[in-house]
Chain A
Amino acid sequence: MSIQVEKPTSTSMLDLLANIWAWVRKIPPVYPIFLLVAIGVSQLNPNFATVNGIMAFIRRAAPLVILAMGQLFVLASGGFDLSQGSVVTLTIIGSALIMHNHEEYTYLAIAIMLGFGILIGLVTGFVVAYLKVPSLIATLGMLLLVKGGGLYWTGGAPKGYLSEAYRFIGRGYIDNVPLIGRFPVSGIVLLVVATILIILFHKTNLGKQILAIGDNAQAAKLSGIKVRQIRMIAFMISAITAIIAGILVGGYGGSSYTAGEGYEMQSVSAAVIGGVLLLGGKGSVYDVAFGGLTLEAMVSLLNLLGLPKPYRDAVQGLIIIGAVAYAGLRTKKRD
């Protein structure tokens, strides 16, 4: 044992710095990354940093952010939802078919599609929770099922067209908003969905129970959590967000049977950039939303750099691998 010597308690400046550093270290990396990418984009395209540019960006990013937030519910519970993209496609071609040139069927179409979303989520959730099929396979199977079902229903090509009111949701603006001029309708949808999901995930038992089953399903079950029920709800939320995203994508880009392709991977990537731990147990709606914005901004950046669209797939592949590798390095330090 050595003799204890009182250390002079000076260097409060250092303490302050240490405190600031400790606080900075707690900031999820997605925020600085988003900032960097946004700065990059606005350097190449000064228009981006204007109010108009930001509004246009929100309009474009809304579907992906919504999908990623829905994906979070499944990822945090320990699963994957790879059927999201095909649900987006189904929404678009299904809505067009239901409306079939009838403007007045707009809300009917939306209601029916939301019903489909609940049904698809129920089926996927049932397959995973009760038939115990790993969600990876279950949702890839659902991808085929939903895509094939959509194509069979519409006879292989988009039929009918999306009404103006329908398309307004995805591409329209509310004009004459004080201070900012105009605000995209999809931005409003995004805010509403985000608020609901934030409350569900962070403020209610549901969110805690989703994290619980993603962390340790057996322990959760032995603590009375209805694991299967929670899993089904997670898939239903994901499917419903896919329907909502589908409505926005359809509004923004019109009817096409490839519209949803690749969205499932984008939403997983966005969630991973937002710090979600694959196989469950950790995640935040806020961070994932910014993950979605970051990914969308990255796509803009690639656009501005003149990369043709197919190459963006390639870059996205690299981003996913990089983000997961980085997350792995961070968690590896723990043990």
Chain B
Amino acid sequence: MAEDQKNKTTPLMEVQHIDKSFPGVQALDDVSVEFFTGEVHAVVGENGAGKSTLMKIMAGAYKPDKGTILFQGKEASFSHPVEAQNIGIGIIYQEFNLLPERTVAQNIYLGREPSKLGVINLRQLNKQTEEVLRELGVDHMISSTLLVSSLSVAEQQLVEIAKAISLNAKVLIMDEPTASLTYTEVNLLFDLITKLKAKGLAVIFISHRLSEVFGISDKITVLKDGVLIGTKYTEEVNTEDLVYMMVGRVLDHYFPPLGIQEEFGDVVLKVKNGSNDFLKEINLDLRKGEVLGIAGLQGSGRTELAQALFGVVPFKTGKIELYAKAVTINNPTRAIKRRIGFVTEDRKSEGLLLMQPIRDNILLALRSLQNIFKFVYKDGIHRSSSLVSDLGNQVDVRVDSYDKEVQDLSGGNQQKVVLSKWLASEAEIFIFDEPTRGIDVEAKVRIHDIIRGLTKQGVAVLMVSSELPEIIGMSDRILVMHEGKIGGELPAESSEADIMLFATGQKNGNGKPSTAANGRGEK
């Protein structure tokens, strides 16, 4: 017990005056933070604020240029992540480090398999794994001999946590652990974090979702541009304080004003009874000038709906009508010809050609509509065209040259390149899947403004998002998906609670406009 008292005053882990720079960027500048046992410590900041860099330094993946790391009062320096792991620092990256083709036990004890003369003791391996899973209280969900590929995202995260526990982690760093979890799974995770906290672990938690930060953390550290803004007790601050700390100014408008119902045009896209392996009986209308938000839990068919409309995984039965004419959209090329654009969830793997110049990315979809033997022009479709720079300016891509490779751009700028690509192809219907994932707060605002600007020019937008504030803030109408079906339709500015009722299947059908649709812009 005396030990406990002492631990309350001396931090379990501490970083002091950490500097770290990468070519061209000062990622961290004189950052000092203390982490205490039995505390959940949230680290927040915009993208590029240096959160991940700091975590990687603490976990031994990066070496600091300057500064010291203290662990249990002693100076520590790591030349390999394994060294940090061995003294009790566990980290769970956003991208899980699990082998899908191997079992839970093989993953948890990778590199530490119980063995004799190089031969693994399989029974021992599975026994130890079961013990760890039992300790976490998840042994009823996961068995040690299951292949990781058969587990859900949330279950895989539990395996990651079990791995850290099996290493006797005293500090557990989690980088955006809730990013791809469903609502119930997040609650499950938070229960577990509370349990770990009670066991005396220091849990460090990076998140973009401020509501979660307030829900779970005891302390919050804010970083901005690699500089420590401050560490506060959670109860001392509110959302506005935190946002102010993060962006350095008050963001008066989170979202642009909604569209005006009367100004919406005709129905441009209509789906009648669209079904495929993932979707059942989809019926929807999308009108010119409106943003139709698609909400729903992970796995509810949100992304599949976007993919079906774009012909990636087309509907097998049912009808799609564009401008009141029946059409077939069974591949992306057809969708693009019909002036549909698709801003995918994963920019890097589905949206961009990272090694190619910005200009070729912007012109990609437009060129796909043209003859393959057509000559290419530097800035667009004619010798004298300045399409690329016009579009770049329109969406405010900030670069010194369009010959730069896309991989050298920030996330926000990359997303703007994707947008320009569909503007170049003159899309009239934009499908967004998680338009602002992994983008910092300021760029988010910018992207939201651009989306609203598009609708004012007569574009129809269908926006899939897992972030309810984004759905509520942007949508003129909300469809909530549940188990591959449209669970219900809600009017603009419905509450999170209403949406969740439909998303979890507790309600279906049309929601009544129960919430007041005013008070906009007064925030």
Contact = CB atoms under 8 A, between A and B. Distances in A.
Q: Do chains A and B touch in the complex (CB under 8 A)?
A: yes
A223 B372 contact: no
Interface string A270-286: 00000001000110000
Interface of A: 200, 203-209, 211-212, 215-216, 218-226, 230, 233, 277, 281-282
A282 B352 CA distance: 15
Contact of B373 (A206, A211, A281): A206
B342 interface: yes
A204 B350 contact: no
Interface residues of B, number: 33
Given A219-B351, A224-B365, A205 B373 contact: yes
Contacts of B115: none
Given A205-B376, A212-B353, A216-B353, 16 more contacts: A203-B375, A205-B373, A206-B372, A206-B373, A209-B368, A211-B360, A212-B360, A215-B355, A219-B352, A222-B351, A223-B365, A224-B333, A224-B337, A226-B333, A230-B372, A281-B353
A295 B365 CA distance: 38
Contact of A216 (B349, B367, B371): B349
A243 to B, nearest CB: 21
B375 A222 contact: no
B332 A208 contact: no
B352 A208 contact: no
Given A211-B353, A215-B353, A216-B352, A223 B375 contact: no
Given A212-B356, A281-B355, A281-B356, A220 B364 contact: yes
Contacts of B116: none
Contact of B332 (A206, A211, A216, A222): A222
A225 B354 contact: no
Nearest to B367: A205
A321 to B, nearest CB: 23
Contacts of B374: 204-205
Contacts of A219: 349-353
Given A205-B376, A215-B356, A282-B355, A224 B349 contact: no
A223 B364 CA distance: 7
B369 interface: yes
B421 interface: yes
18 contacts: A204-B374, A205-B371, A205-B376, A208-B364, A208-B376, A209-B367, A211-B360, A212-B353, A216-B353, A219-B353, A221-B332, A222-B351, A224-B364, A225-B333, A225-B364, A226-B333, A233-B372, A277-B355
Given A204-B373, A208-B360, A220 B353 contact: yes
B368 A222 contact: no
A16 B342 CA distance: 46
Given A223-B332, A224-B333, A203 B376 contact: yes
A233 B371 CA distance: 14
B344 interface: yes
Contacts of B376: 203-205, 207-208
A209 B372 CA distance: 8
A222 B344 contact: yes
Contacts of B337: 224
Interface string B319-358: 0000000000000110111000010100001111111100
Interface string B475-491: 00000000000000000
A228 B137 CA distance: 49
A216 B335 CA distance: 20
Contacts of B333: 224-226
Contacts of B364: 208, 212, 220, 223-225
B372 A205 contact: yes
List of 5 A-B pairs having minimum Cβ-Cβ separation, nearest first: A224-B368, A224-B336, A215-B353, A223-B365, A281-B355
Contacts of B335: 224
Contacts of A221: 332
B370 interface: yes
Contacts of A233: 372
**Interface-centre pick from B336, B351, B367 (highest chain A CB count, 10 A):** B367
B312 interface: yes
Contacts of A216: 349, 352-354
A322 B365 CA distance: 38
A205 B377 CA distance: 9
A225 B370 CA distance: 10
A47 to B, nearest CB: 42
Nearest to B352: A219
A40 B421 CA distance: 49
A218 B352 CA distance: 9
Contacts of B349: 216, 218-219
Contacts of A224: 332-333, 335-337, 364-365, 368-369, 425
Contacts of B350: 218-219, 222
**Interface-centre pick from A211, A219, A223, A226 (highest chain B CB count, 10 A):** A223
A130 to B, nearest CB: 14
A277 B405 CA distance: 15
A225 B376 CA distance: 15
Contacts of A204: 372-376
